Amino acid sequence: MPIRILSLLLILMAAAVAGGQDSQSAISSTRLSDSVLVVDGPNFERHCVAVSTGEGVVVIESLFSTDAADEARRLIESTFSEPVRAVINTHCHPDHSFGNTAFADVPIIAQSGYQARMQMVIEGWSGILTQQIDSLTAQLAETAEGSQDAASLHDALEQSRQTLDFLHNSYVLPSVYVDAGMTLTFGGKEIQVLFFGPGHTDHDLVVWVPSEKLLVMGDLLFGAGYFPYTDESLGGSTANWVATLDRLLQTCAEAEHVVPGHGKVGGLELIRAERQVFQDLLDAAAEARSRGLTLEQALEEVWLEQYRSYAWYDFRHDENLTAAWHALEELEGQTR
Ligand SMILES: [Zn+2]
- What digits encode the pLDDT tens for the residues 18-65? 654 444 457 899 999 999 999 998 777 889 999 999 999 999 999 988
Q: What is the dihedral of CA 18, 19, 20, 26, to 10 degrees?
A: 170
C-alpha 281 – ligand 1 centre gap (Å): 19
Question: How confident is the model at residue 1, as a pLDDT?
Answer: 42
- 171 Cβ contact list (under 8 Å, min separation 6): 98, 100, 101, 118, 122
C-alpha 270 – ligand 1 centre gap (Å): 17
Mean pLDDT of 155-167: 91
C-alpha 330 – ligand 1 centre gap (Å): 22
Q: 3-115+173-268 belongs to which CATH class?
A: alpha beta
Mean pLDDT of 214-236: 96
C-alpha 157 – ligand 1 centre gap (Å): 27
Q: What angle do CA 134, 139, 142 make, to 5 degrees?
A: 135
Amino acid 279 reads Q
pLDDT band, residue 2 (cuts 50/70/90)? very low
C-alpha 215 – ligand 1 centre gap (Å): 17
Question: How confident is the model at residue 18, as a pLDDT?
Answer: 63
Least confident of 195-204, 227-236, 311-320, 326-335: 326-335
Amino acid 200 reads H
Mean pLDDT of 189-213: 98
Mean pLDDT of 181-185: 96
* CB atoms closer than 10 angstroms to residue 334: 8
C-alpha 219 – ligand 1 centre gap (Å): 5
Quote the mean pLDDT of the chain: 91
- Does residue 336 carry a pLDDT above 60? no
Question: How confident is the model at residue 66, as a pLDDT?
Answer: 87
* CB atoms closer than 10 angstroms to residue 228: 28
Contact (Cβ atoms closer than 8 angstroms) between residue 242 and residue 248: no
The candidate with the shortest Cα–Cα distance to 230, out of 172, 285, 296, is: 285
Question: In what helix (H) or strand (E) does residue 152 lie, and over which residues does it extend?
Answer: helix 148-165
Cα 262 from Cα 278, distance rounded (Å) = 17
C-alpha 198 – ligand 1 centre gap (Å): 12
Question: How confident is the model at residue 11, as a pLDDT?
Answer: 64
* 186 beta partners: 189
Question: How confident is the model at residue 3, as a pLDDT?
Answer: 40
The candidate with the shortest Cα–Cα distance to 53, out of 22, 13, 80, is: 80
Amino acid 297 reads Q
C-alpha 174 – ligand 1 centre gap (Å): 16
Contact (Cβ atoms closer than 8 angstroms) between residue 202 and residue 121: no
- Does residue 126 carry a pLDDT above 80? yes
Question: How confident is the model at residue 5, as a pLDDT?
Answer: 45
- Does residue 237 carry a pLDDT above 80? yes
Question: How confident is the model at residue 65, as a pLDDT?
Answer: 86
- Does residue 80 carry a pLDDT above 70? yes
C-alpha 62 – ligand 1 centre gap (Å): 12
pLDDT in tens, 272-324: 999 999 999 999 999 999 999 999 999 999 999 999 999 989 999 999 999 99
The candidate with the shortest Cα–Cα distance to 220, out of 237, 191, 241, 246, is: 241
C-alpha 156 – ligand 1 centre gap (Å): 25
Least confident of 82-91, 122-131, 319-328: 122-131
Instruction: Give just the sign of the alpha carbon dihedral 106, 111, 114, 115.
Output: positive
- Does residue 146 carry a pLDDT above 90? no
Question: How confident is the model at residue 40, as a pLDDT?
Answer: 92
Is the pLDDT higher at 3 or at 204? 204
Q: Percentages helix, strand, coil for the chain, rounded to the nearest 5?
A: 50, 20, 30
C-alpha 308 – ligand 1 centre gap (Å): 20
C-alpha 55 – ligand 1 centre gap (Å): 30
- Does residue 69 carry a pLDDT above 50? yes
C-alpha 94 – ligand 1 centre gap (Å): 8
Question: How confident is the model at residue 206, as a pLDDT?
Answer: 98
Inter-axis angle of helices 238-251 and 313-335, nearest 10: 80
Question: How confident is the model at residue 15, as a pLDDT?
Answer: 65
Contact (Cβ atoms closer than 8 angstroms) between residue 240 and residue 324: no
| Phi, then psi, of 182 in degrees rounded to 5 | -165, 165
C-alpha 335 – ligand 1 centre gap (Å): 30
Percentage, residues of the chain above pLDDT 90: 80
C-alpha 222 – ligand 1 centre gap (Å): 10
Cα 34 from Cα 37, distance rounded (Å) = 8
Question: How confident is the model at residue 16, as a pLDDT?
Answer: 67
Domain boundaries, given as residue ranges, for the chain: 3-115+173-268, 277-335
Cα 232 from Cα 208, distance rounded (Å) = 25
